[in-house]
Amino acid sequence: MIACALRLQLRPLAPVFDRWPLLRSTPGLAQLQWARSDHLATIEPLSVAAFAHAILSTPNESVVLDIGANVGAYTLLAGALGRRVVAVEMQPGCLEWQRCHSVQLDALGASRGMSHTLRCAQRALALR
């Protein structure tokens, strides 16, 4: 397990894959460690299914913009499905989760003989 996943107490999504048959055949997806995997499985199962279907309906060279990425669960999903991802999040506390997802995607890409590109951006707004 990747050190950051252990430190952040990330969990695998594999135990709830029965909710998303479309994702079961994605190589390496079951081994990834997810932030808020329980939330995805219990609160957002239809959103995950719709998102995965939309991503898989695009060309492989597509870039996914995850604006308001939060902890990056959908970012990780899009990257695991082979798309390049740009994740933008304003909350500084979420950036560590996104970086951990990026490390996992790099490892997954290397095992598949391809490179994943995840760019995490954090920008604070000064309101006057």
The reply to whether 71 falls in a domain is: yes
The reply to whether 126 falls in a domain is: no
Confidence band of 112 (pLDDT split at 50, 70, 90): low
| Overall pTM surpassing 0.85 (yes/no) | no
- Write out pLDDT tens, residues 33-80: 877 777 777 778 888 889 989 999 999 889 998 888 888 888 888 888
Nearest one of 123, 71, 66, 59 to 101, comparing CA atoms: 71
* CATH number, domain with residue 116: 3.40.50
The CB density around residue 7, as the number of other CB atoms within 10 Å, is: 10
| Per-residue model confidence (pLDDT) at position 58 | 93
| Per-residue model confidence (pLDDT) at position 127 | 41
| Per-residue model confidence (pLDDT) at position 54 | 93
The reply to whether 127 falls in a domain is: no
Distance separating alpha carbons of residues 52 and 58, to the nearest angstrom: 10
Distance separating alpha carbons of residues 105 and 110, to the nearest angstrom: 8
| Per-residue model confidence (pLDDT) at position 128 | 39
Domain ranges, residue 41: 3-121
- Write out pLDDT tens, residues 69-97: 888 888 888 888 888 888 888 888 888 88
- Structural domain count, the chain: 1
User: Strand, helix or coil at 92?
Assistant: helix
114 DSSP assignment: S
| Per-residue model confidence (pLDDT) at position 124 | 43
Distance separating alpha carbons of residues 16 and 24, to the nearest angstrom: 10
| Per-residue model confidence (pLDDT) at position 123 | 47
The reply to whether 128 falls in a domain is: no
